[in-house]
Amino acid sequence: MLCRAVLQDSHNFGMGQALMARSNVAKTLLNKQHAPFQSLNRRGEKCLFSIKSGLLALSQLGVFRPGKSLLTMMIIFMVGFGLSVTQAKASKYASIVIEEATGKVLFSRNADNLRYPASLTKIMTLYLLFEDIEAGRMTLKSRIPVSKTAAGRSPSKLYLKPGQSISAEQAIYALVTKSANDVATAIAEKLSGTERKFAKRMTRKAKALGMRRTVFKNASGLPNRRQKSTARDMAVLAVAMRRDFPQFYKYFSTQSFNWKGRKYGNHNKLLAKYSGTDGIKTGYINASGFNLVATVERNGVRLIGVVFGGKTSRSRDRHMMQILDNQFKRVKTITVRRAALAMPTTLPVAPPERGDKLPKSLPVSKSLPVSKTKTRPAAAPKKTEFIQLDIASAANPATDENPSWSVQIGNFAQRVNAHRAAIVARRTADDVLGMTPANLHLVTRGAIPLWRVRFNDLEEDQARAACAALFSAGRPCIAIAVSPTSRG
């Protein structure tokens, strides 16, 4: 705009043709007189030369005085131009690094400033798809039809045609690797009828997860001036994705995806070149710059990094690796004690709910290794210790030949604390619980609502092993035998 304005002024004075004729002379003259300006970046060279030439022409008409006036005006133009470019780049940048288990922020820059998420939006699209699959409303084999609207989305895309369909699992791969916009819209229409309704659902879910400043307007991240998020909110989403859907998180480590004979590589290059990386997603539109959310685990420490506004994908990746390297040097590594440690002879007994009768119990297996404990002289000897069954269940698993087992790690007044406890439990006993989703269920004790955390669908030996590992780390645990229809 600045260049056009200067040139327009020169034309208004009837100097358009003279300017073109004298451009080479002006360039030579100005380069000799103002050698310090040779260091200007290439992006601004063309515009700055036009400014120089225009000012020289106007000075010949007496609008500007040659010499100091011309030099002063040129400096003002160049400083203003340079500042505008710098400010534009800075306005896109934001970053944050957090430790997953504690939620502690280790590093942040502009973490709460609104930015365009670009294709990081697809993380929420996948979150809601996983939610519907887990709820039984869809399966990985469910077909997702492609509408004319979806097929018309701008690249990046699979170039699906109206009337075609794609399986839910193929759609997951397409979003994780190719970041296909046509597939994102198809998922939105499948789950909510229209992409607009789906975007409203995305925003509601964002608020529920604690993404306070995020608003979604589409499922893909294609440009929309009202679709905004923050680095902190995207870190919250990354935590929620692995916490709520550990069984699906493996998809984010997919390095390539084959579709119709063509191989699409994952845009997240940290998967291959940065040790410990196992997810999650990249994004880019012109308004956002190059974005990235990454999760990395080393020596028992898991960090989540978010970068917005990279100048290029390579510079963004380098910056992400740098800030993660710096934080890994700061945090203490965690030594996880495994379930290979000696198991206790007894497991703790849960108190019955009010108004419920105590059902029959199962004794602890005598085949388990016995840990050495000091006996109290005054205590009466006990014949058998029992494991408390699921009190909330009406079924009696003692009558079942193969009851399912669950591990309960506590009840919490706040949902966020329940989530954190689940993460710590999974890390402490990850040989058993590493890929088992945590079940958070709202229960009441008297008039007090509490969030109960359980890991379901375990074998008896798995439940005992998980509790043994948790006990050894000083964490609470109750192994519970339940019937398949009475899990909570």
> What is the mean predicted confidence (pLDDT) over 159-185?
97
pLDDT in tens, 441-457: 888 766 678 888 999 88
- Cα–Cα distance between 78 and 59 in angstroms, integer? 18
CATH fold for domain 94-330: Beta-lactamase (3.40.710)
pLDDT at residue number 14: 43
Helix (H, G, I), strand (E, B) or coil at 234: helix
Q: What is the pLDDT of residues 307-331, one digit of tens each?
A: 999 999 999 999 999 999 999 998 8
Q: Output the pLDDT for position 149.
A: 97
pLDDT of residue 440: 87
The confidence score (pLDDT) of residue 340 equals 41
Is the pLDDT at 178 greater than 50, yes or no? yes
What confidence score (pLDDT) does residue 60 get?
54
pLDDT at 383 over 60: no
Flag whether pLDDT at 464 surpasses 90.
Answer: no
Instruction: Label residue 402 by pLDDT band (50, 70, 90).
Output: low
Indicate whether 5 pLDDT > 70: no
pLDDT band, very low/low/confident/very high, at 52 (cuts 50, 70, 90):
low
Q: What does the domain layout of the chain look like in residue ranges?
A: 2-89, 94-330, 362-369+385-482
pLDDT at position 110 is: 96
On average, the pLDDT of the chain sits at 76
What is the band of 369 on the pLDDT scale with cuts at 50, 70, 90? very low
Active site residue 141: no
Higher pLDDT, 483 or 340: 483
The pLDDT value given to residue 173: 97
Question: Which has more confidence, 476 or 356?
Answer: 476
What does the CA dihedral 180, 321, 300, 233 come to, rounded to 10 degrees?
Answer: -50
In order, the DSSP letters of 90-139 are HTT-EEEEEETTT--EEEEESTTS-B--GGGHHHHHHHHHHHHHHTTS--
Looking at residues 22-33, what average pLDDT do you find?
A: 45
Of the two residues 480 and 297, the one the predictor is more confident about is 297
The more confident residue out of 210 and 43 is 210
d(CA 121, CA 126): 9
Catalytic one of 50, 53, 156, 179: 179
Torsion of CA 213, 217, 161, 167, to 10 degrees: 40
Mean pLDDT of 196-213: 96
What stretches of 350-403 adopt beta strand conformation (E)? 362-363, 386-387
Confidence at 300, pLDDT banded by 50, 70, 90: confident
pLDDT surpasses 70 at 484: no
Q: Residue 243 and residue 145: Cα distance in Å, rounded? A: 29
Whether the pLDDT of residue 387 is over 70: the answer is no
Tokens encoding 336: 């996880």
Digit-coded pLDDT (tens) for 222-269: 999 999 999 999 999 999 999 899 899 999 999 999 999 999 999 999
Q: Specify whether 119 is catalytic.
A: yes
Residue 122 known to be catalytic: yes
Percent of the chain exceeding pLDDT 90 equals: 46
Question: What percentage of the chain has pLDDT greater than the value 70?
Answer: 65
Question: Highest mean pLDDT range out of 281-290, 381-390, 423-432?
Answer: 281-290
Q: What is the mean pLDDT of residues 287-292?
A: 97
Provide the CATH topology of domain 362-369+385-482. Alpha-Beta Plaits (3.30.70)
For residue 193, the 8-state DSSP code is S
The number of angstroms, rounded, from the C-alpha of 21 to the middle of its chain's C-alpha atoms is 57
- The catalytically annotated residue of 50, 119, 192, 220 is 119
